[in-house]
Chain A
Amino acid sequence: MAYNLKEQLNKPERFEAGHRLCAGCGAGIVCRAMMRALEPEDKAVICNATGCLEVSSFQYPYTAWHDSYIHTAFENATATASGVEAAYNVMKRRGKIKDNFKILAIGGDGGTYDIGFQSLSGALERGHDFTYFCYDNEAYMNTGTQRSSATPRFANATTTPAGVESVGKKQTQKNLTQIVVAHGAPYVAQTTLIGTLKDFHEKAHKAIYTQGPTFVNVLTPCPRGWQYPSELLPEICRMAVETCVWPLYEVENGEYHLSYMPKKKLPVEEFMKLQGRFRHCFKPGNEWTIEAAQEYVDKQWEALLAKCN
C-alpha cells in the first residue's frame, strides 16, 4: 500500500501532544513518526537514553507515551533494551504473554555516538531484536549545546566556540551509520525529516520489522543549538539532503542503496547559511572554512556513491 501522510495521521497518536520539547524541535516529529511506523496491533516498549526527549516526554506524573517506556540512564538505552528483549523472549517462551511487542531504543547523538556507544556496540554484536533510533541533533543539547562526536567541523558549540583564535569545532564528525553497518546489522538507514516523511516512515517500518538489531540515524535539527527560527526546520532538513551533507541511504545485509539522488547537488553553504552555528564561517577571512566543509562533503559523498554502486 502506497504511503499516504493523511492516512498515517489518522492513526491513533502514540506520542501525545503536551510534551515539553521546544517548538521547532525535530525530536517530537521523530517520535510521532517512529510510533506511526508500528503496525497498530503491535505493542512496544520504548527504551530512552537520558536527554532532552526523556526530560520533556516523561516528567512525573505525566508521560507523552501511550506505550510502555523505560529510562534508566544516559549511556545504556541499548543495554536496557537488551534486558527488555531478553525478558520478552523468556516470557513469551514460558507462555506469560501473548501480544507481540517491538523493542525500540531512542537517544540523541550524545547518548548514541558518544557515551552510549559501548552499550550500542555490545547489543549490536549480540544480535538482540530491537530498533535503535538516533535523533542526531549534532551536539549535547540538553546540557546546552556542547560538542559531541556528531558535531560537524566548524560548528559553534559552547565547548568549541568561535572566537578570534577559533572557527568552531576542529574535527569532522564520526560516521556512526557506517560504524553500525560494520557491526553486520541486518538493516541500517540514514534519514531526516523531509516532505511527507515518506522516507522516514518506510525506513522506520523496515527497521522495526526486520529481525535482529537495526538502526535508523535521523538528522534532527535543534532550534536552540543550531540557531534557526523554528519554522525553518523542514527547509534545513531539505538542504542537508540537497547539499549531500546528510545523504539518504539504507544498508540491507551489507548492501548499500542510495534513497535519493539530488538533481543538482547544492553548495554546502546553502545548508550552513540557514543556521547561526555557522555564522562565523561567513565572516571575511573565514571563506576557507566553507571551502573545507565543501571538500569534506564532496569526499564523503563520493565514497558513499562508490559503496552504493
Chain B
Amino acid sequence: MSIKDRLSGNEAIATAMRQINPDVFAMFPITPSTEIPQFYAQYVADGKVDTEFICVESEHSALSACAGAEAAGCRAVTATSSAGLSYMNEMLYVVASSRLPLVLAVSNRALTGPININHDYSDSMAERDSGFIQLYAENNQEAYDNYLQAHRIAEHPDVRLPLMVCEDGFITSHALENIELEEDEAVKDFVGEYHPENYLLKSENPLAVGPYGVSGYYMEARVAQAEAMKNAKRVILEVAADFEKRFGRHYEFFESYRMEDAELAIVLMGSSAGTAKVAVDELRAEGVKAGLIKVRVFRPFPGEEIVEALKNCKAVAVLDKSEGFSANGGPLFAETASAAINLEKRPKMIDIVYGLGGRDFTVGHAKRVFARLAKIVETGETGPIYSHMGQRDLRKEVQ
C-alpha cells in the first residue's frame, strides 16, 4: 500500500535513502542539496538508520570516502550540487572506471560564474562523460522513484557503474508536492541487499583496486566500461518493469507525451516538462499536432529510441537547460541530432538554450517554441539552428 505524503524533492530522496539504509553516507554541504544529508543526519540521530555517517571536509573527500567504502564492500551514498559536483570531477571518473556502483544524488544547480544557486543542468552535463549513469526527474515523485531504482541498476553484475539521481535544484529539491511513498519493507524487498563478488574486506580473498594501466591494458578496461554502459540500457528497463509490477508507476528511457501523431515536438528534461505539457495540451485543443519527449535517462543515451519516437515529426526543438559553449548548441541537442544522422527522412531540428541560472520557463515560452517549429514547417527554412530563449532583451531573440 502506498503512503500519501507531502514532501520536497530533497526529503523524498532522503526518505528513499532512509528506507534503503545504506552502509556509509559521506557528506559535504552545498546548496541546494544540503537538506538531503541534513534530513539523513536526523534519521541517524533518531536511530531510524544505522548508517556510518561521515561529515568530511570537501566534496572531493566525500566521493573519495564513498569510493573507499564501496570498494570495501559497502553500499555508499552522497549528495551534491554545482561546484561540489565539479570538485568531485576527478573522482567521478575514478569511481566509474573502478566499477564502484555507488549512488550520488544531485540537486542540479548552475555552475559559477557569476555565482548562482538556481537551477540549470550545467553541473551534471559537465560530467556527462564521467562514466556515471544519469537519471533525471520531472517532479518529486520521479526523484523518489528514480532513487528507489538506482541501486539495483548500478549494482547489477552486468553494469557495476555508479549512478547520479538528478533533480532540479529548488524547483524540485525544495518545492513541496503530494507524493506516494512505498512501505519501508516493500522498498527493502525491491532494492535488496548488496552482495558484491569481490571487496577489500573479504578476508579469504584480498582485492587490489585502482592499478596503473599501461597502454597494453588501458583500452580493454575502457571498452569493458563502455560495454557496461550499453548493458545499463537493458537493466534500466528491467528494473523499471519490476518497479511497475510492484508499485504501479511506469518508467522508460523517456516519456513520450502526445507523440503518436505529433508533427511538432519538443525534447527536454526535468521540471520544464510539466510546463511544456500544458502548452502541448493547449495547442492540441487548437488542432496543432504538438508533442513532447522528456528525457529521463541521459546516460546511457537512448539515441535509437528517441529517434524512433521523433522520426515522423516535421520539426523538432531540443531545449537545453545548460550552455555547453561549443558554439554549436547544447549537449542534449548534440546527442539527439547525432542520433538522427542516419535517418533517411529526418525532421528539421533546432536547439534552444533556456532557463540558465534559474531563468523562468513559462507556458508562453513553450508556445513560442512551437510557433517557431510551425514556421519552419510552413516556410521550409530552419533559420538559426542554435539560439537562446528567455533573455532580458527580447529583441535579441529569434522569433
B203 near A87 (CB under 8 angstroms)? no
CA distance A43 to B72 in the complex (A): 13
Size bracket, chain B contacts: 35 or more
Q: Are A71 and B209 neighbours in the complex by a CB distance under 8 Å?
A: yes
The verdict on A61 contacting chain B, using a C-beta distance below 8 Å, is yes
Query: Is A170 among interface residues, defined by CB-CB distance under 8 A?
Result: no
CB of B56 within 8 A of CB of A45, answer no
Residues A76 and B210 in contact, CB atoms below 8 Å apart: no
Q: Is A266 an interface residue (CB 8 A)?
A: no
A54 with B206: CB separation less than 8 A: no
B203 lies within 8 A of A83 (CB): no
- Given A59-B212, A73-B91, A81-B68, A90–B52 Cβ distance below 8 Å? yes
Q: Are the CB atoms of B217 and A84 closer together than 8 Å?
A: no
Closest to B22 in A: A90
A66 touching B206 in the complex, CB below 8 Å, given contacts A73-B64, A93-B50, A119-B61? yes
CB of A82 within 8 A of CB of B56, answer yes
Main secondary structure of the interface of B (DSSP, over half): mixed
Of chain B, the residue at the smallest CB distance from A60 is: B211
- Which residues of A are in contact with B by a Cβ distance under 8 Å? 43, 45, 47, 54-55, 58-61, 63, 65-73, 75-76, 79-91, 93-94, 96-99, 101, 118-119, 121-122, 125-126
Asked if B260 is at the interface (CB within 8 A of a chain A CB), the reply is: no
Which residues of A have CB within 8 Å of B213?
59-60
Cβ proximity bits B211-236 to A, threshold 8 Å, 1 near / 0 not: 11110010001000000000000000
- Tell me which of A43, A58, A97, A99 contacts B212 (CB under 8 A): A58
Contact (Cβ within 8 A) A79 B203: no
User: Is B56 a contact of A88 with CB atoms below 8 Å?
Assistant: no
Which residues of B are found within 8 Å of A63, using beta-carbon distances? Answer: 208, 211
Contacts A63-B211, A71-B210, A87-B72 given: A118-B57 contact, CB under 8 Å? yes
Query: Are B210 and A97 interface neighbours, CB within 8 A?
Result: no
Given contacts A68-B208, A71-B210, contact A87 B61 (CB under 8 A): no
Chain B residues, CB < 8 A from A67: 206
Residue ID in chain A nearest B55 by CB atoms: A126
**B203 and A99: CB pair below 8 A?**
yes
Q: Does B76 contact A (CB under 8 A)?
A: yes
Alpha-carbon distance A189/B386, docked complex (angstroms): 62
A58 pairs with B208, CB closer than 8 A:
yes
Q: How far is the CA of A219 from the CA of B58 in the complex (A)?
A: 29
Asked whether B56 lies within 8 Å of A126 as measured between CB atoms, the reply is yes
B residues with CB within 8 A of A: 23-24, 26, 50-52, 54-58, 60-62, 64-74, 76, 90-91, 94-95, 98, 200-203, 206-214, 217, 221
- Contact B217–A79 (Cβ < 8 Å): no
A-B contact pairs, 7 of them (CB 8 A): A54-B210, A75-B60, A83-B72, A87-B68, A91-B23, A97-B201, A122-B57
- Contact, CB under 8 Å: B61 / A55: no
Residue of chain A at shortest CB distance from B209: A70
Residues of B within 8 A of A87 (CB): 23-24, 52, 68-70, 72-74, 76, 200-201
Chain B, residue nearest A44 (CB): B206
Complex: A115 Cα to B319 Cα, angstroms = 40
User: Which has the most chain A C-beta neighbours within 10 Å: B23, B64, B206?
Assistant: B64
Contact at A86–B212, with CB atoms within 8 Å? Answer: no
User: In the complex, which of the residues B66, B90, B201, B211 contacts A45, with contact meaning CB atoms closer than 8 Å?
Assistant: B201
Beyond A61-B217, A79-B60, A79-B65, whether A84 also contacts B212 by CB under 8 A is no
Choose among A75, A84, A86, A122 the residue that contacts B200 (Cβ–Cβ < 8 A).
A84
Partner of A76, one of B61, B72, B208: B61
Q: Do B60 and A76 touch across chains, with their CB atoms under 8 A apart?
A: yes
Q: How far is the CB of B385 from chain A (nearest CB, A)?
A: 39
Q: Is the CB of B210 within 8 A of A91?
A: no
Q: Assuming the A-B contacts A97-B201, A97-B203, are A79 and B64 also in contact, with contact meaning beta carbons closer than 8 angstroms in the complex?
A: yes
Most buried by A among B56, B68, B71, B210: B68
> Chain A residues near B64 (CB, 8 Å)?
72-73, 76, 79-80, 82-83, 119
Known: A68-B207, A87-B72, A122-B58. A55 touches B212 (CB 8 A): yes
Taking a contact as CB atoms under 8 Å apart, the answer to whether B206 and A84 are in contact is no
Q: Is the CB of B94 within 8 A of A82?
A: no
For A69, the closest partner residue in chain B by CB is B208
The residues of B that contact A84 with a CB separation of less than 8 Å are: 68-69, 71-72, 200-201
Bound Cα distance from A118 to B28, whole angstroms: 14
State A76–B221 Cα separation when bound (angstroms): 23
How distant is the Cα of A157 from the Cα of B74 in the complex, in angstroms? 43
Q: Give Cα distance in the complex from A110 to B138, angstroms.
A: 45
B58 near A118 (CB under 8 angstroms)?
Answer: yes
Residues of chain A with a CB closer than 8 A to B56's CB: 79, 82, 122, 126
Contacts of A58 in B (CB 8 A): 208, 210-212
- What is the minimal beta-carbon distance from A11 to any residue of chain B, in angstroms? 17
Nearest residue in A to B28 (C-beta to C-beta)?
Answer: A122
Which residues of A lie under 8 Å from residue B90 when comparing CB positions?
73
How far apart sit A63 and B55, CA to CA, in the bound complex (Å)? 32
B24 partner, pick from A90, A98, A101, beta carbons under 8 A = A90
B57 touches A121 (CB 8 A): yes
The chain B residue with its CB closest to the CB of A93 is: B50
Residue of B nearest to A56 (CB): B212
Please name all residues of chain B whose beta carbon is closer than 8 Å to the beta carbon of A54 when the two chains form the complex: 210, 212
Residue on A nearest B93 in the bound complex, by CB: A73
* A89:B208 contact, CB within 8 angstroms: no
Which of chain A's residues have a CB closer than 8 A to the CB of B65? Answer: 79-80, 82-83, 86
Tell whether, in the assembled complex, residue B201 and residue A72 are in contact, meaning their CB atoms are under 8 Å apart. Answer: no
Which residues of chain B are within 8 angstroms of A73 by Cβ–Cβ distance?
64, 90-91, 94
A59→B211 contact, CB < 8 A: yes
The smallest C-beta distance from B285 to any residue of chain A, in angstroms, reads 55
In the complex, what residue of chain B is closest to A122 when comparing beta carbons? B57
For the A-B complex with A70-B209, A84-B201, A118-B57 known, give 19 more contacts whose Cβ atoms are closer than 8 Å. Answer: A47-B68, A58-B208, A59-B214, A60-B217, A63-B211, A69-B206, A70-B200, A70-B210, A76-B91, A79-B65, A83-B26, A83-B65, A83-B71, A84-B69, A87-B52, A90-B24, A90-B74, A119-B60, A122-B61
